[in-house]
Amino acid sequence: MPPRRWSRRRFGALMLGALAFPACSTGIEKKSAANTRQRGALRIGAIMYARDLEYWQLMEAGMREAARRHGVPISVEVSNRQLATEAQLIDTSHARGDNVLVVAPLDAKASVAGLRKAHGYGMSIVQIDTRVSDPSFADFVGVSNDTLGTTIGRAAATYLRTRPNGKGKIALLTGDTEPNGPVRKKAFLAQVAGAGTVVTSAEAVGSPEAGSKALETVLQAHPDIDLVWAWNGAALQGAVTAASRVHAKAAIFGIDMSAQVAKAMLAGGSTVKAVADQNAYRIGGQAVDLAVAVARGEKANGTPTMPAQLYQDSDAAGLRSFLAGLKKGNP
């Protein structure tokens, strides 16, 4: 989610001074001057991967609420995880009159061409969820994949070290074909090194059903697995469903909280021990906040990317707070 290389253009007169963000906000990076200040009324076009998971639904809700607060119209569309669709939506956004783009790039390298085209259209650009490899597109809101993998990896390592022999067998439900997957896996493995041994893995991409199938596959080959790691929300939800169905004993650690997973952790009997979450609602809202600030040429105090939030089965209050936030549309 095939690499494409592109030549760098000079952004001369469009270069702005480094922007920052209100001190009350977090999770925002402004490292580059290569963005466009708008002179007239703002219109935001937003592109996400899909709406099939709570993660994206919450992100969209956060974006829409922030746009309402700023009094700026917003159109939110989905690429359906297709690079050609992503490119077409950028053209559609420009044709509609949008001059601000909030986008979750599908591929770190291949999506650069689309962002370059948006910049050529004169759009102000902010990235969410992940970012392209070219550093001139530096305005980003989210949790780094390294942080997510490290956070859940530390929790998994702590759990493994409490076992009788201080170690365990690990199965990975991976997203190696996705842009976020390899970085998360590498960070996770760095934390569990010495505390466990990876004995098997299965790709779990695209849907909770793929996560369920992946867990069943690894359990059939290695029924004595001690710990399962799920790389994203779909894989995690699927793993929780399959584990309940087959009465799996392995502890589950994953990334991206959802109502299904939180309820399972609260209900008792679930083997989910911990989840590293990104707070998608907040990411969506702050992405629009930053996009408006960039487009208007406003300056404030910048902050680093936001930390991951760790939910654990021992923290019932935290899990209930997450579910209560979902009902309000703001976990």
- R_g of the chain computed on alpha carbons: 20
Q: Looking at the structure, tell me whether residues 109 and 153 fall in a common domain.
A: no
Query: What confidence score (pLDDT) does residue 298 get?
Result: 84
Q: What parts of the chain have a pLDDT lower than 50? A: 1-33, 300-304
The enclosing domain of 112 has a CATH number of 3.40.50.2300
**Residues 120 and 196 reside in one and the same domain:** no
- From its phi and psi, is residue 17 left (phi > 0), alpha (psi between -120 and 50) or beta? beta
Is 247 in the same domain as 149?
A: yes
Q: Is residue 80 part of a domain?
A: yes
Are residue 88 and residue 220 in the same domain, yes or no? no
* 211, two tokens: 């996560």
Q: Which domain holds residue 30?
A: 14-142+280-300
Q: Indicate if 288 and 264 belong to the same structural domain.
A: no
**99-130 pLDDT, tens per residue?**
999 999 998 899 999 999 999 999 999 999 88
Domain check: are 33 and 151 in the same one?
no
Residue 5, domain member (yes or no)? no
Q: Are residues 289 and 269 in the same domain?
A: no
pTM of structure? 0.81
DSSP string, 221-247: H-TT--EEEE-SHHHHHHHHHHHHHHT
Q: What's the structural domain count of the chain?
A: 2
**Model pLDDT for residues 140-150, shown as the tens digit of each residue:** 999 989 999 99
